[in-house]
Chains A and B, each alone.
Chain A
């Protein structure tokens, strides 16, 4: 049994057939997991300023760039093992650098509140065994975490939910479009306008506290009725909800107080984003957007978006992420002006413009370690394929020695 690193569910029941050092067949993993574990078509090769090189000189050059930079920045880490993330934080500390991961424009805000124990949360096993009302809010779990519904939430039978989805569970989708998850929820799909989450929450709060909600009265009252009857409820908060309510978590907290049986789970995409948030939280008290200068400074302006927008870095190390692909064009313009160091198993858009590229092993397939599942459970990753690629942990270790 192998752990899949396709998404933050970290399914640990995958069977793999390896033949001649290559994966021949993958069983039980979804399509997303299968394609990640099969590795990439275009492997990254070590290079310095677009010229092929060897890994030792690439690491030396990367260290040189980072050392000579005035305000270097480290970014990525959501697709690295916990061990590599701790090394990365150590490297940032040593370089007096800024460090951020993809959670600053993803689920960081919710995870921070969960780690600060402001929200009630529970493990995915609890959800499977006990949950009777499941709300997918701004989240298309069916597409983003394909096995979520079948492994942990709606379909499986649990200890106190023996009749599973047929009678014991109600799935509710709140979204701006009829996603694949909403198609499964059928009669319990609530379509809201773009950025309408706050208004929807306020109407729901009204309905739960005995007032008549201001809009869509009939449907909101019906939903409030279901929520009140729930014995063990789950809110799977997707990126749609996080983007819509931004930093205004007060309304969510009020809703949480009115629904004492409910638990929230931030739906994390990248397989170890929560791992980075937890590691940085343990060391600094913050989940992302941190600058080290002997002390720790945490400010919004240290998020990757703000840094690139305001051109406040002069060297960027990207590990296991692709900012050129995932960030808006106006923001990433600055990448062309600074040296970028890219550590990744595959050729990415960012690696094509990078000054230094360092190939690494695919974690969970070619290197082992640990990762944190979306509910905070630590899961072991195993090495199934032997080859010469160094893990990101080893590369960061060598960088640490060289700077």
Chain B
């Protein structure tokens, strides 16, 4: 799991404020929560920071495909068993006659669906980790024995 300090170590650490944040540490926090992007730190684009920038981009690459809630499905690990489809409390509430009792989702309000043997997330705004009153829900991670679902 990526930490703020790892990102901070690779930034220029000059607190130049060119990005609009008050410190480089604040920029690192924004990077981690995917509110800011690497090129927004202009000094990093200079030639002498090239190595650090490449390292930073490589570190952030796995989070590139993440949804707004930070959800990533590692399709190469997913077996399509559908445990997450049935265990997700939002799916259960939105589809009591389908996903809740183990059958295939019967409407489009569900978050997880299995397509081509792999799970696909949609309706991400319904996720309990989204929005102002978000909670740290683990209902889709816990039932996955292969670790195919991750929040970053």
Binding site for B on A (CB under 8 A): 13-15, 25-35, 128, 142-143, 146-147, 149-152, 155-158, 164-165, 180-181, 183-184
- Contact of B12 with A by CB under 8 A: no
Given contacts A142-B145, A155-B102, A156-B102, contact A34 B117 (CB under 8 A): yes
Closest to A152 in B: B102
**B80 contact set on A, CB distance < 8 A:** 29-34, 146
Binary per-residue interface labels of chain B (79-99) against chain A in the complex, 1 for a CB within 8 Å, 0 otherwise: 111110111000010000000
Q: Which residues of B contact A184 (CB under 8 A)?
A: 83, 143, 145
| B62-114 interface with A by 8 A CB criterion | 78-83, 85-87, 92, 100-105, 113-114
Q: In the assembly, what is the distance between CA of A184 and CA of B102, in Å?
A: 17
- A183, B100: Cα distance in complex, Å: 22
**Chain B count of residues within 8 A CB distance of the other chain:** 25
Residue of B82, B86, B103, B145 touching A30 (CB-CB under 8 A): B82
Q: Which residue of B lies closest to A181 (CB)?
A: B145
Q: Is B46 an interface residue (CB 8 A)?
A: no
A31 to B81, CA, bound (A): 8
| A31 near B102: Cβ-Cβ < 8 Å | no
CA distance A56 to B104 in the complex (A): 42
Query: Could you tell me the distance between the alpha carbons of A164 and B143 in the complex, rounded to whole angstroms?
Result: 13
Other CB < 8 Å A-B pairs besides A28-B105, A157-B100, 12 of them?
A28-B114, A29-B117, A128-B102, A142-B79, A146-B80, A150-B81, A151-B102, A155-B83, A155-B143, A156-B86, A156-B101, A158-B101
| B116: interface (CB < 8 Å) | yes
Are the CB atoms of B114 and A29 closer together than 8 Å? yes
Q: A31-B79, A149-B81, A155-B143 given as contacts; is B101 within 8 A of A128 (CB)?
A: yes
A286 to chain B, nearest CB (A): 35
Contacts of A164 in B (CB 8 A): 86-87, 92
- Contacts A31-B117, A146-B81 given; indicate if A180 touches B146 (C-beta within 8 A): yes
Contact of B136 with A by CB under 8 A: no
* Complex contacts, A149 vs chain B, CB 8 Å: 81, 83, 143
B135 at the A interface (CB under 8 A): no
Q: Does B34 have its Cβ within 8 Å of any Cβ on chain A?
A: no
A155: nearest chain-B partner, CB-CB: B86
- Least CB distance from A26 to B in Å reads 6
Q: Return chain B residues, CB-CB under 8 Å to A30.
A: 79-82, 114, 117
Query: Nearest CB to that of A180 among chain B residues?
Result: B145
Within the assembled complex, what's the spacing in Å between the Cα atoms of A113 and B4? 61
Shortest A173–chain B CB gap in Å is 11
Total of A-B residue pairs, C-beta within 8 Å: 94
Q: Are B82 and A151 in contact (CB under 8 A)?
A: yes
The residues of A that contact B85 with a CB separation of less than 8 Å are: 150
- Give the residue of B83, B116, B143 whose beta carbon is less than 8 angstroms from that of A34: B116
Q: Which residue of A lies closest to B82 (CB)?
A: A150
Q: Does B115 contact A (CB under 8 A)?
A: yes
Looking at the assembled complex, report how far the CB atom of A132 sits from the nearest CB atom of chain B, in whole angstroms: 16
Query: What secondary structure prevails in chain B residues at the interface with A?
Result: loop
The residue in A15, A30, A34, A183 that gathers the most chain B C-beta atoms within 10 A of its C-beta is A30
Whether the Cβ atoms of B82 and A25 lie closer than 8 Å is no
Closest to B89 in A: A166
Name the B residues within 8 Å of A146 (CB-CB).
79-82
**Given A26-B117, A158-B101, A31 and B78 touching (CB < 8 A)?**
yes
Residue of B78, B100, B114 with most chain A CB atoms under a 10 A cut-off: B114
Q: Which B residues touch A27, using CB under 8 A?
A: 104, 113-116
B39 nearest CB across to chain A (Å): 37
- Docked Cα-Cα span, A27 to B86, in Å, equals 15
Contacts of A151 in B (CB 8 A): 82, 86, 102-103
Q: Does B129 sit at the interface, judged by CB under 8 A?
A: no
Roughly how many angstroms separate A255 CA and B114 CA in the complex, as a whole number?
Answer: 39
What residues of chain A lie closer than 8 Å to B113, measured between beta carbons? 27-28
Minimal Cβ-Cβ distance residue in A for B78: A31
A222 to chain B minimum Cβ distance, whole angstroms, is 22
CA gap between A269 and B92 in the complex, in Å: 29
Using CB atoms, name the residue of chain B closest to A153: B102
Query: Could you give 21 example pairs across A and B, Cβ below 8 Å?
Result: A13-B103, A13-B104, A26-B116, A26-B117, A27-B115, A29-B117, A30-B79, A32-B79, A33-B80, A146-B80, A150-B82, A150-B83, A151-B103, A152-B102, A155-B83, A156-B86, A156-B102, A157-B92, A165-B87, A180-B146, A184-B83
Kindly name the residue among B79, B82, B102 whose own CB sees the greatest number of chain A CB atoms within 10 A: B102
**Cα–Cα, bound, A334→B105 (Å):** 50
In this complex, what residue of A is CB-closest to B120?
Answer: A27
B118 at the interface (CB under 8 A from A): yes
Instruction: Give the residue name and chain of the A residue nearest to B102 (CB).
Output: A156
Judging by beta carbons under 8 Å apart, are A31 and B118 in contact?
A: yes
Bound-state CA distance A243–B117 (Å) is 31
A187 to chain B, nearest CB (A): 13
For the complex, give the distance between the alpha carbons of A165 and B101 in Å: 11
| Most interface-central of A147, A180, A181 (chain B CB within 10 A) | A147
